[in-house]
Amino acid sequence: MPSGRCLWMSMSSLRKPWRNVSERCRTHMNDSADTVFVSRTMTPMSMEERKKRLLDELRRMGIEESILEAIAKTDREEFVPERYRRDAYANYAQPIGHGQTISQPYTVAYMIQLLDLQEGHSVLEIGAGSGYNAAVMSKLVGAKGRIVSVEIVSSLAETAKKNLRAAGIDNVEVVQGDGYEGHPSGSPYDRIIVTAGASEIPDPLMEQLRKHGIMVIPVSVDGYQVMTRVLKDDPPRITRHGEFRFVPFR
């Protein structure tokens, strides 16, 4: 095979909407399995160059500038396992252990965009993961805002705390617990974001959402996980925003 082409490619990759061959030749990890692509010709890039490339890609995909600025201020490589740091700014999910992943950067950005975060907002996040999502949101709610992130896996909760502390972020509280029940002591919240696939919108989370607040949650619909935005009104206003893939709510 000529130099500069992929040495190996899984059939699943052919179904993905890759922008070009060079995108397809990067190391690729998805939520369910490890798929590796290797290129014989790869020019080394600095982390800042990789970040800029990601930001340019997200901009083309319709992500707002305020969110891009928050992502630019957040070093994603500090929130992925050491072995994957080289690909921290690739636009795909990466495993963080315990069957969990750090979501694809586009998914993170898109969900945050649906949240319509404002300075001073209080946010409940279900699924802290490595802490990256909360780190990006912390830039948008500012010093007057607060984020409570609930993580059911105790070791991941500790990892998220460590990562956020190392990043100098002090407006995020990570709590180990069952995300389905939320975190009532901090309610009501202006915004709630759920980073795992749910079979339904949990009643406890709706109860903890402030009136006219917004929840963004992937919900199973006819066998697919559909990004769902709920505006708490009477009755609630629910809109759907495309199909995604997440690890299941647990």
* φ, ψ dihedrals at 164, nearest 5°: -65, -40
Active-site residues: which are they?
103
Which pLDDT band, with edges at 50, 70 and 90, does 100 fall under?
confident
SS3 225: strand
State pLDDT tens for residues 197-222. Answer: 888 999 999 999 999 999 999 998 87
* φ, ψ dihedrals at 52, nearest 5°: -60, -40
Reading the block at residue 212, the tokens are 């006219």
0.85 exceeded by pTM: no
Check residue 7 and report its DSSP letter. Answer: S
> In which residue are the tokens 């009104």 written?
233
Which pLDDT band, with edges at 50, 70 and 90, does 145 fall under?
very high
Which pLDDT band, with edges at 50, 70 and 90, does 97 fall under?
confident
State pLDDT tens for residues 63-95. Answer: 999 999 999 999 999 999 999 999 999 999 999
Delineate the domains of the chain, giving CATH numbers in brackets: 1-43 (no CATH), 109-244 (3.40.50.150)
Which pLDDT band, with edges at 50, 70 and 90, does 43 fall under?
low
SS3 189: strand
Classify the C-alpha dihedral 132-135-141-145 as positive or negative. Answer: positive
Q: Averaged over 182-189, what is the pLDDT?
A: 96
pLDDT of residue 5: 28
Q: Could you give the percent of the chain with pLDDT greater than 90?
A: 68
Write 212-217 long-range contacts (CB < 8 A, 24+).
213/188, 213/189, 214/114, 214/115, 214/116, 214/190, 215/191, 216/111, 216/114, 216/115, 216/191, 216/192, 217/192, 217/193
